[in-house]
Structure 1
Amino acid sequence: MKLSVVIPAYNEEESLPDTLRTLYATLKKYNIPHEICVTNDNSKDGTLRVLDELSVEIPTLTYYTNLGPNGFGYAVRYGLERFTGDCVAVFMADMSDDPEDLVRYYFKMLDGNYDCVFGSRWDKGGRVIDYPQLKKVVNRLANFIVRMMMGINYNDTTNAFKLYKRETIEGIKPFLAPHFNLTIELPLKAMVRGYTYAVVPNSWTNRKYGESKLKIKEMGSRYFFILMYCLIEKYFSRGDYMKKTAAPPKEVSR
């Protein structure tokens, strides 16, 4: 099964070399057939130059420039329309995600034939390194609200780093979120529409270079909009968008 890794990148010239080299070396070590798809989200720094240089040494690297509209969600969606693999992961350009976790996601999907594999930084075995305290408080509050409103046990919906089969991505279209709220749209739609998923612990490390693109003050209403959309679909769509022949979604024991 070919793995695609979609990486949105805006002004990430400092982070990309370490991220892409480590990711490629890890996937090659485990002999995982793959492609690395970077969306340059109309960066203003040397991101495109760095991608040009890295493409010479990383044979599985492909990259695109999204001229607009721009934003995290648009950049991810740009990659999700162009990947060629049998499954696809969203992976961050700043190396906050661990390639070894991606390997675990991949083999978990293969072993259990799951439609999705989600990570949890907050379960036993998960960890966060240098996580800003305010961001942590907001994260845990947001995930609690999502859990209560959607009636799910999964506790890390807001993290973008997840793995989906191609059929799952096709089944949860069309996408609505243009910004970081895409991180909850993808998994919540998958759950609501009956796609199976497993949860495994994963780690998160704060970026070494540059600054986070997530602006907490700007995102509250956007997250709430997507949450309400998924909630309405869950209770009022009468199963119109459910995965065909799917059993009701269930969470797999960790």
Structure 2
Amino acid sequence: MKLSIVIPAHNEEGSIEETISTLYAKLKENRIDHEIVVVNDHSRDTTEAILARMSTEMDTLVYYNNDGPGGFGNAIRYGLARFSGDCVAIMMADLSDSPDDLLKFYHKLMEGYDCVFGTRWSNGGKVVDYPFVKKIINRMANAIVKYTFALKYNDCTNAFKIYRKETIQGLQPLLSHHFNLTLELPLKAIVRGYSYAIVPNSWHNRKHGESKLKIKEMGSRYFFILMYCLIEKFFSRGDYKKADAKKVTMAKRA
């Protein structure tokens, strides 16, 4: 099963080379058929120059310049429209996500799940140097999501996840332009009946550059996606359900 990794990159000259090199070495070492898809999202530093050079040195690295509107969600959507693998993982450009965890996600997906979701806040999960205020907001937001949708999963906003190609196709159309895409993807997968496993993962704060997440700008956008998925869950009458999930539902009703 070919694995694609989509990485959005905006002004990541301090991190992108180490991130790609570490990821590439780990995947090669484990002989995993893969491609690393980096989307340069309107960077104003040397990110593109670094990607251009590295793409001539690594046979599995491809990069695109996002020629549409900028934003974290837009960059990921750009990559999701172009990856060639049988499954796709979303990872950050600052090496906050672990390549070792990616291997765990990949092997778990091969057990037959449609998606694998990471959790940093359960047994086995780990966070290093997580900003205190951001942590409080994160835990409150995820608690709201968890109880609103009656989930056992406690880290929906964690961007680090992996999906089968067919799952990504089944989650269309994607609406989010920004970090709220990290909530849209798993909630749609859950609401639409895709199977998923939860695997603990680690998270390390970035060594270089600044976080692109602007908390003050994101509250209403997360709320919009939350309400959209809630409306779909209760009022869409199963129109967007995964095909075999819909058959199971209809069989139960009969």
Counterparts of 1:134 and 1:54 in 2: how far apart (Å)?
A: 36
* 1:246 match: 245
Counterparts of 1:237 and 1:226 in 2: how far apart (Å)?
A: 15
User: 2:91 corresponds to which letter in structure 1?
Assistant: F
Counterparts of 1:42 and 1:167 in 2: how far apart (Å)?
A: 29
The structural deviation recorded for 1:153 is 1.1
User: 1:220 corresponds to which letter in structure 2?
Assistant: G
- Partner secondary structure for residue 139 of structure 2: helix
Counterparts of 1:56 and 1:30 in 2: how far apart (Å)?
A: 22
Counterparts of 1:67 and 1:86 in 2: how far apart (Å)?
A: 25
Q: How does 1:232-243 map to 2 (within 5 A)?
A: 232-243=231-242
Counterparts of 1:109 and 1:246 in 2: how far apart (Å)?
A: 18
* 1:158 match: 157
Counterparts of 1:101 and 1:57 in 2: how far apart (Å)?
A: 25
Question: What is the number of residues matched between the two proteins?
Answer: 248
Q: Which runs of 5+ in 2 are unaligned?
A: 250-254
* 1:11 and 2:45 aligned: no
Aligned-pair identity in percent equals: 64
* 1:170 and 2:169 aligned: yes
The structural deviation recorded for 1:29 is 1.1
The structural deviation recorded for 1:13 is 1.0
List per-residue Cα deviations over 1:41-90 (Å, max 9, x = no partner).
01111010000111122210000001221100000000000000000000
TM-score normalised over the length of structure 1: 0.96
Q: How does 1:3-152 map to 2 (within 5 A)?
A: 3-110=3-110, 112-152=111-151
Q: Which runs of 5+ in 1 are unaligned?
A: 250-254
Contact 1:42 1:68 in 2 (8 A): no
Contact 1:39 1:76 in 2 (8 A): yes
* 2:252 match: none
* 1:252 match: none
The structural deviation recorded for 1:243 is 0.2
- RMSD of aligned alpha carbons: 1.1
TM-score normalised over the length of structure 2: 0.96
Contact 1:117 1:199 in 2 (8 A): yes
User: 2:127 corresponds to which letter in structure 1?
Assistant: V
Counterparts of 2:58 and 2:21 in 1: how far apart (Å)?
A: 7
- Partner secondary structure for residue 245 of structure 1: helix
Counterparts of 1:192 and 1:67 in 2: how far apart (Å)?
A: 32
The structural deviation recorded for 1:149 is 1.0
List per-residue Cα deviations over 1:133-170 (Å, max 9, x = no partner).
00100100000000111111100000111000000000
Counterparts of 2:56 and 2:133 in 1: how far apart (Å)?
A: 40
* 1:216 and 2:215 aligned: yes
User: 1:125 corresponds to which letter in structure 2?
Assistant: G
User: 1:12 corresponds to which letter in structure 2?
Assistant: E
- Partner secondary structure for residue 246 of structure 1: helix
Counterparts of 1:135 and 1:29 in 2: how far apart (Å)?
A: 35
User: 1:155 corresponds to which letter in structure 2?
Assistant: N
